[in-house]
Structure 1
Amino acid sequence: MASGTKPKVKINATFDALTEESVKAFQSKKRLKVDGIVGKKTLPKLMKAAKAPKIDLKLSTPD
């Protein structure tokens, strides 16, 4: 994927290869650890970017 491009991801209940690629691109852009895991550091930034309401989740992922 070219730098600065946005992958076209259809919203569904599947965390597939395209979703993982999108998460990694987001992490890279936000200077997070690029591992494809939506964890403790990635989720809040993703929610903010999506302008989603703030939620309190107890995550057990290493991110």
Structure 2
Amino acid sequence: MVADTIIACGKGHVFWGSWVPGASVTTIRLGPRRLGMCKAGRHLSLLRRVDESELTAEQRGALFGAP
């Protein structure tokens, strides 16, 4: 089980969430993306998993706290 995964929405918001491969209860799977609620912006969006190396400095600050 994958827990504490960085997830991004279509508008660029990033947040922590659970992403279990092959299973989804609160989202609709669409290949590598899922349709679900963005926890950061509180809107319906396409969600995707994000590798930490892809994050901008602003996104890192939002997830890990400002340095």
Which structure is richer in relative contact order (CA contacts within 8 A, separation 6 or more)? 2
By the TM > 0.5 criterion, same fold? Answer: no
Q: In proportion to residue count, which structure has more helix?
A: 1
Shorter-chain TM-score: what band?
Answer: under 0.3
